[in-house]
C-alpha cells in the first residue's frame, strides 16, 4: 500500500513489474505520472483509498477522482471485453498497453482524447468502437495491435499521430473521417493486410513512410507515378514513382499534395515542374535527388516543406511561383551547385537555412517583392532585423544575405 506521506508516483514507476498482482494507493497520493504500471501483465486490481482526493478505483482500474480520466486499466484482468464508463473524457497514456486478453473495447460517447500509446501491444484486440466525440488521438495509439481488423475514425479527429497503426498486420478496413488533415510518420507502417484506403479531401499532409510496408495497398497509377485519393479524386496525394528510372514528372491536374519523402534519393530525376492543382510540397519530397538540375514551382503551390529539395547537388536553378507563401527550413540547403533562384511575389515566410550551408555557387536571388522583409533571430522570435528593399533588389546582395549573413534567421514579410 502507498500512503503514509507518499504524494507522487512517478512516470513508469512500476513498469514491467510482472509479478505485481495488486496494489493499494493510500490517501496521501496526489500525483501519478504517465504509464505508472506499464507492462505489469499480471496486475488484476488497483485499489484506491476512499479518502484519496485525487484518484479512485472503479472495478479494479485507476481513474481520477472526478472520473474524467482513465489512468490505468488493470491489464492482468482476464476479461475479453471492456466498456469505458460514461463520464470519462480522456484515456490516459498507455492505459491499456500490453493488455493481451482484451478482444473488444467500446469507448463511451463523451470521450474526447485518447493519449499516446493507449492500446499499444494489445495483441489480441480485434475491435475498438470510437465515438464521434473523440477529437484527439495521440501517437502510437494502436501500435502493434497485431489482431486489429478494422477501424473507423470520426470526423472530429484532425490528426492521425505517428505510428498510430504501426505493424497492425491484420488491419484491412480503415475509414478516415472527413476532418483529418494530417497522417503522421509511419502511421500505417507495416499494415500488410491493408488493400485500400480513401484519403479525404481535407488531408493536407502525409508524412514520411506513412504507408511503407503496406504491400497490398492498391495505389492509382498513371504516368509512372502512384497516388492515393478517394472516389471523387483518385489523384489527391502523389506518393511517389513506380519507376526508379523516372527522369521527369507528369502530375495529374487534380493532385493537391506531394507526400513527404515522395521522391527522396531518386537520382534519375533531372527536372521538376509543378503546376496544376498541387498546393503542398511535403517535407523532403525531393531530398537528395542528386541529378535534378532545374525546378519550376508554379500553379497553385502555397507551401514548400522543410528540406524539400535539400542535398539536390546537381540543382542549378529554381523558380518559385507567386502562389507560394511559405518556404520551409532548409528547403534548398546543401544544393552545392545552385546558381540562381527567383522568389515569387506571394512569399511571406522563408525558413532558416533555406540555402545553407554549402550553397557555394549561389550568386543570384531575385525577389519579386522586396518590401517589408525582416530577418528574425532563430532563438528569439521577438528580435528582428529589417532588410533593406534596395539590398534585396540587387540579386547578388540578396543571395549573400540569404545564404550567409542572415542564413540562420527566419525571414518574414509584412
| Pairing status of strand 150-152 against strand 127-129 | unpaired
Phi-psi region of 240 (alpha: psi -120 to 50; beta: other; left: phi over 0): left
pLDDT digits (tens, 9 = 90+) for 271-322: 999 988 999 999 999 999 999 999 999 889 999 999 999 999 999 999 999 9
pLDDT digits (tens, 9 = 90+) for 382-406: 678 999 999 999 999 999 999 999 9
Q: Mean pLDDT lowest for which of 2-6, 85-89, 237-241?
A: 2-6
Beta bridge partners of 410: 376
Q: Using CA atoms in the order 247, 253, 259, 265, what is the torsion angle rounded to 10 degrees?
A: 0
DSSP structure string for 124-152: T--EEE--TT--EE-TTTTTT-TT--EEE
Instruction: Give the residue-averaged pLDDT of 127-151.
Output: 97
Question: What pLDDT shows up at residue 298?
Answer: 87
Instruction: Give the residue-averaged pLDDT of 354-364.
Output: 91
Phi first, then psi: give them for residue 88, nearest 5 degrees.
-70, 135
Instruction: Give the residue-averaged pLDDT of 98-111.
Output: 97
How far apart CA 286 and CA 261 sit, in angstroms, is: 7
Instruction: Return mean pLDDT, the chain.
Output: 95
Is residue 105 classed as helix, strand or coil in its secondary structure? strand
For the entire predicted model, the pTM comes to 0.93
pLDDT tier, 4 (very low <50, low <70, confident <90, very high otherwise): low
Does residue 368 carry a pLDDT above 90? yes
Phi first, then psi: give them for residue 283, nearest 5 degrees.
-60, 135
Question: What pLDDT shows up at residue 5?
Answer: 81
Question: What pLDDT shows up at residue 335?
Answer: 96
pLDDT digits (tens, 9 = 90+) for 325-346: 999 999 999 999 999 999 999 9
Question: What pLDDT shows up at residue 2?
Answer: 58
DSSP code of residue 214: -
* Cβ proximity of 35 and 93 under 8 Å: yes
Nearest to residue 172, comparing CAs of 152, 189, 196?
Answer: 196
DSSP code of residue 115: -
Question: What pLDDT shows up at residue 380?
Answer: 67
The domain limits of the chain are: 232-414
Identify whether 361 is preceded by a cis peptide bond (ω within 30 of 0).
Answer: no
Comparison of pLDDT for 378 and 166, the residue scoring more: 166
* % of the chain with per-residue pLDDT over 90: 94
Does residue 356 carry a pLDDT above 90? no
Beta bridge partners of 326: 303, 349
CATH topology of domain 232-414: 3.80.10
Tally Cβ neighbours within 10 Å of residue 237: 28
How far apart CA 1 and CA 385 sit, in angstroms, is: 60
pLDDT digits (tens, 9 = 90+) for 145-191: 999 999 999 999 999 999 999 999 999 999 999 999 999 999 999 99
pLDDT tier, 1 (very low <50, low <70, confident <90, very high otherwise): low
Does residue 42 carry a pLDDT above 70? yes
Question: What pLDDT shows up at residue 113?
Answer: 98
* Cβ proximity of 100 and 41 under 8 Å: yes
Nearest to residue 327, comparing CAs of 347, 298, 300?
Answer: 347
Instruction: Give the residue-averaged pLDDT of 105-116.
Output: 98
Amino acid at each position: 500500500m502507498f500512503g503514509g506521506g507518499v504524494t507522487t508516483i512517478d512516470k513508469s514507476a512500476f513498469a514491467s513489474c510482472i509479478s505485481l498482482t495488486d496494489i493499494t494507493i493510500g490517501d496521501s497520493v496526489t500525483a501519478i505520472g504517465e504509464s505508472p504500471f506499464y507492462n505489469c501483465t499480471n496486475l488484476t486490481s488497483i485499489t484506491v483509498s476512499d479518502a484519496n482526493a485525487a484518484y479512485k478505483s472503479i472495478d479494479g482500474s485507476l481513474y481520477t477522482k472526478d472520473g474524467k480520466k482513465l489512468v490505468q486499466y488493470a491489464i492482468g484482468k482476464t476479461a475479453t471485453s471492456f466498456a469505458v464508463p460514461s463520464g470519462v473524457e480522456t484515456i490516459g497514456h498507455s492505459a491499456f498497453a500490453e493488455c493481451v486478453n482484451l478482444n473488444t473495447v467500446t469507448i463511451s460517447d463523451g470521450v474526447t482524447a485518447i493519449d499516446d500509446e493507449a492500446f499499444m501491444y494489445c495483441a489480441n484486440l480485434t475491435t475498438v468502437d470510437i465515438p464521434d466525440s473523440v477529437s484527439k488521438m495521440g501517437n502510437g495509439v494502436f501500435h502493434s495491435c497485431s489482431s486489429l481488423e478494422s477501424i473507423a475514425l470520426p470526423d472530429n479527429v484532425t490528426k492521425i499521430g505517428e505510428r498510430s497503426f504501426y505493424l497492425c498486420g491484420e488491419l484491412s478496413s480503415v475509414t478516415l473521417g472527413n476532418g483529418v488533415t494530417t497522417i503522421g510518420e509511419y502511421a500505417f507502417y507495416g499494415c500488410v493486410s491493408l488493400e485500400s484506403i480513401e484519403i479525404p479531401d481535407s488531408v493536407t499532409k502525409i508524412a514520411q513512410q506513412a504507408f511503407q510496408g503496406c504491400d497490398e495497398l492498391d495505389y492509382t497509377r498513371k504516368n509512372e507515378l502512384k497516388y492515393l485519393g478517394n472516389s471523387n479524386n483518385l489523384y489527391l496525394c502523389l506518393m511517389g514513382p513506380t519507376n526508379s528510372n523516372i527522369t521527369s514528372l507528369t502530375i495529374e491536374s487534380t493532385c493537391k499534395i506531394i507526400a513527404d519523402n515522395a521522391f527522396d534519393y531518386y537520382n534519375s530525376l533531372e527536372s521538376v515542374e509543378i503546376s496544376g492543382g498541387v498546393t503542398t510540397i511535403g517535407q523532403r519530397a525531393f531530398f537528395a535527388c542528386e541529378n535534378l538540375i532545374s525546378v519550376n514551382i508554379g500553379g497553385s503551390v502555397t507551401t514548400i516543406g522543410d528540406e524539400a529539395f535539400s542535398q539536390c547537388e546537381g540543382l542549378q536553378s529554381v523558380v518559385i511561383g507567386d502562389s507560394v507563401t511559405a518556404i520551409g527550413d532548409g528547403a534548398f540547403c546543401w544544393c552545392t551547385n545552385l546558381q540562381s533562384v527567383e522568389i515569387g511575389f506571394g512569399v511571406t515566410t522563408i525558413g532558416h537555412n533555406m540555402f545553407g550551408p554549402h550553397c557555394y555557387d549561389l550568386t543570384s536571388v531575385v525577389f519579386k517583392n522586396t518590401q517589408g522583409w525582416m530577418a528574425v533571430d532563430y532563438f528569439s522570435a521577438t528580435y528582428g532585423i529589417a532588410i533593406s528593399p534596395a539590398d534585396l533588389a540587387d540579386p547578388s546582395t540578396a543571395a549573400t544575405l540569404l545564404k550567409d549573413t542572415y542564413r540562420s534567421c527566419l525571414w518574414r514579410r509584412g
